[in-house]
Amino acid sequence: MAEISELVAADRDTFRTGTLQRHKMTRAQWEQAAGDAARGYVTLLSLWATRSAVHMALMEPNSRGVGILSLENRRAEFPSVARLHPPAQRLERSITDLFGLAPQGAEDTRPWLDHGAWGITTPLAKARPREARQPDYDFLPVIGEGLHQVPVGPVHAGIIEPGHFRFSAQGETVVRLEERLGYTHKGIDRLMQGATVARGAMLAQRCSGDSTVAYGWAYAQATEAAQGVTPPPRALWLRAIMAELERLANHLNDIGAICNDAAFALMPALCSPLREKVMRGCDAAFGHRFMRDAIVPGGVARDLERDGRQALEAVVDEVRRGFEPIVELYDNRPSLLARTVGTGRLRGDLARQFAAGGYIGRASGRDFDLRRDLPYAPYDRLTFKIPVREEGDVDARIWIRIEEVRQSLHMLDQLLGGLPAGDIQAPPGPGNAPGEGLGLVEGFRGDVLVWVALDARGRIRRCHMRDPSWFQWPLLEAVIEDNIIADFPLCNKSFNCSYSGVDL
Amino acid sequence: MKTMLLKALTGKPLTEAAPAQSGLDELGMTLGLQARRRLGRSLAIRQVDAGSCNACELEIQATGNPVYDLDRFGLHFVASPRHADVLLVTGPVTRNMEVALRRTYDAMANPKWVVAAGDCAIDGGCFAGSYAVLDGCAAVLPVDVTIPGCPPKPAEILRALVALMQRADKTS
């Protein structure tokens, strides 16, 4: 039996260039793969199901090969991955809710996405009407003296997404936080089934609004790989311009918002107008503030005209001038730093175990960024640095974002200056043929993964989208331990995980 | 920081003054008059995300930034539904959020209004027909004003709240 890591490493050359062959596993091999993920020989990128099989995407960290392993299941069950590798747990519970497949040996078999409100069960398999009322959700018990519980949500005090947090606290100190998500579950996976590639693109760009471009691009990569289509260089450069603008807008907004949760209102007052400038620049250049539906499979929907380019150059200029005084303000405010330094510390080993993407992983020493480590055009042509810090606290996550703002501005200079001429759409492919493809794009929050399988009519048989937050949310539970409840908003905002992206 | 504050005191405000195209100034006037009569110059808004993709939330948040500054119109967001005059709903209303949305509405005192913001909240948008959504806010609550867009722009959100004030005035 070939070693799992060798199998995955061998796919280094085929990933990003076309259809990725899935490796069929025996049960023993599947379990070995789960164990290898737990031992750190391979990195678990995602876990999902189709009607007749379960699949996992793995990366071999040295060679940076990416491969997909599949296990056919005829008996509606599969060996649990989470039993050996906890980061798979919520993905596994979602598989049970959507497909009715039971992970054998799993410790936590509580439902995740299914709150008992759909009227049906297992909507992606043979959906059945729900007969019995779903029992109340059992939060994990906390035992000890003087403990009390604080339930928060799903409706929160601010203008944010819905989710439930159950704090068990001793006095002010949090002993355990348990998250209960799934409130924004829209059934996107089933809407995708049978949809045209174009409608799929529309849905993909509405999974998590703040990551519209990242999703649009990852989905486009997946369908292009499945159909053997190569977008022209200009289209790829335009996609990168959009992706860096998106990163810029989100980082600017969140740097201010994190400080707002430490009651330092001057930071958002300075950051949000810069974010507004970026959003208006996007609108002027690409016709939409979030650049929705600007990326289409095969290229981009609209070219960047001269006016738009000038507008973006002006935005880059203004943000660059406006940003550095804000950084100085943050760095010289001891009262603010007293709240962020040492708060919400994420241990490096946890960040690596969960393969935490984006600023969350990079603030805890996980030196990984798809733009450099699994590069896709045009990032292979740009010069940029990936900031990494070891402290893992709120302050470190802010500094990673500050540095990423600078790097994005630097990349936008290069992208706007070196934009190649030419078409913005690939010529139509050879026609419809069944195919599968994988897309991986570095969004502002981390790596977005999209896997798509097309049928002979060119329609979507199954589309799986894995938001970076799948592997970040569980870490927030670990981070808040031993912090005070009052610091939760600060920790939460410094993570800024997506609810909609994981609820789908 | 001293220079920053000094600049803020002596410089021009970031808030867009009398933007003729967007009609923000005119909007402030209308809202001022209506709000004074009906609600003592202020309107408290409770926002509930009933399954949106979070783009609507980002634009609603933006209405409070110094560029749009919704506070100058007497509009403000409140944490508790008990303090709210308006329920601002986004998202297609997922079945998993139905109960929470109803309870939030029930907790509000009369008179109260419901605003459905974004295409999803109006009729489910691109998620309509899914087993997991109720195809818009009207399936659960009486909707007074809708704000189309995916997502609606901050200026459009402000403008729609004026329309609501006008209607509130007529029905009083």
Report how many domains make up chain A. Answer: 2
Predicted local distance difference test score (pLDDT) of residue B171: 56
Does position A470 have pLDDT exceeding 60, yes or no?
yes
B122 CA: distance to closest CA in chain A (Å): 15
Does position A1 have pLDDT exceeding 60, yes or no?
no
- Name which of B79, B94, B125 is nearest A184 (Cβ-Cβ): B94
Q: DSSP assignment of chain B, as one string?
A: -HHHHHHHHHS--SSPPS-TTTTHHHHHHHHHHHHHHHHTT-EEEEEEESS--SHHHHHHHHTTSTTT-GGGGTEEE-S-GGG-SEEEEESS-BGGGHHHHHHHHHTSPSS-EEEEESHHHHH-GGGTT-TTB-SSGGGTS---EEE-SSSPPHHHHHHHHHHHHHHHHHT-
Q: How far apart are CA B77 and CA A359, in angstroms?
A: 30
pTM score of the predicted model: 0.94
Q: Are residues A193 and A75 in the same domain?
A: no
Q: Are residues A69 and A206 in the same domain?
A: no
Per residue in A216-252, pLDDT (tens digit) is: 999 999 999 998 899 999 999 999 999 999 999 999 9
Q: Are residues A282 and A424 in the same domain?
A: yes
Using the 3D structure, point to which of A93, A113, A133 is the last residue of a domain: A113
Q: Give a yes or no: residue A241 inside a domain.
A: yes
Q: Are residues A297 and A402 in the same domain?
A: yes
Q: Are residues A466 and A321 in the same domain?
A: yes
- Name which of A123, A183, A207 is nearest B94 (Cβ-Cβ): A183
Partners of residue B70 in chain A, C-beta under 8 Å:
none
Closest chain B residue to the Cα of A189, Cα to Cα: B130
Using the 3D structure, point to which of A113, A141, A164 is the last residue of a domain: A113
Q: Give a yes or no: residue A16 inside a domain.
A: yes
Determine contact, residues A368/A356, Cβ cutoff 8 Å: no
Q: Give a yes or no: residue A174 inside a domain.
A: no
Q: Give a yes or no: residue A153 inside a domain.
A: no
Q: What is the residue-averaged pLDDT of chain A?
A: 94
Closest chain A residue to the Cα of B135, Cα to Cα: A186
Q: How far apart are CA A255 and CA A278, in angstroms?
A: 15
Burial of B172 (0-12, 13-18, 19+ CB in 10 A): exposed
Q: Are residues A268 and A362 in the same domain?
A: yes
Domain of residue A46: give its range: 4-113
Mean pLDDT of A184-207: 97
Per residue in A47-95, pLDDT (tens digit) is: 999 988 999 999 999 888 899 999 998 788 999 999 999 999 999 999 9
Q: Give a yes or no: residue A159 inside a domain.
A: no
Predicted local distance difference test score (pLDDT) of residue B7: 82
Per residue in A371-412, pLDDT (tens digit) is: 999 999 999 999 999 999 999 999 999 999 999 999 999 999
Phi, psi at residue A351, to the nearest 5°?
-60, -40
The CATH number that applies at residue A76 is 3.30.460.80
Q: Give a yes or no: residue A156 inside a domain.
A: no
Q: Are residues A272 and A364 in the same domain?
A: yes
Q: Are residues A88 and A195 in the same domain?
A: no
Q: Are residues A325 and A460 in the same domain?
A: yes
Classify the complex by whether its ipTM is higher than 0.90, answering yes or no: yes
Using the 3D structure, point to which of A113, A131, A149 is the last residue of a domain: A113
Q: Give a yes or no: residue A345 inside a domain.
A: yes
The CATH number that applies at residue A275 is 1.10.645.10
Token readout for A378 is 């045009």
Q: Give a yes or no: residue A240 inside a domain.
A: yes
Residue B79 to residue A157, Cβ atoms within 8 A: yes
Query: What is the pLDDT tens value at each position of chain B, 172 positions in all?
Result: 778 888 878 888 777 743 333 444 454 455 555 555 666 667 899 999 999 999 999 999 999 999 998 888 888 899 999 999 999 999 999 999 999 999 999 999 988 999 999 999 999 999 999 999 999 999 999 998 899 999 999 999 988 876 676 666 555 5
Q: Are residues A92 and A220 in the same domain?
A: no
Give Cβ neighbours of residue A306 (< 8 Å, ≥ 6 apart): none
Per residue in A419-437, pLDDT (tens digit) is: 999 999 998 776 678 899 9
Q: How confident is the model at residue A42 (pLDDT cuts 50, 70, 90)?
A: very high
Predicted local distance difference test score (pLDDT) of residue A4: 86
Q: Are residues A68 and A197 in the same domain?
A: no
Q: Are residues A104 and A227 in the same domain?
A: no
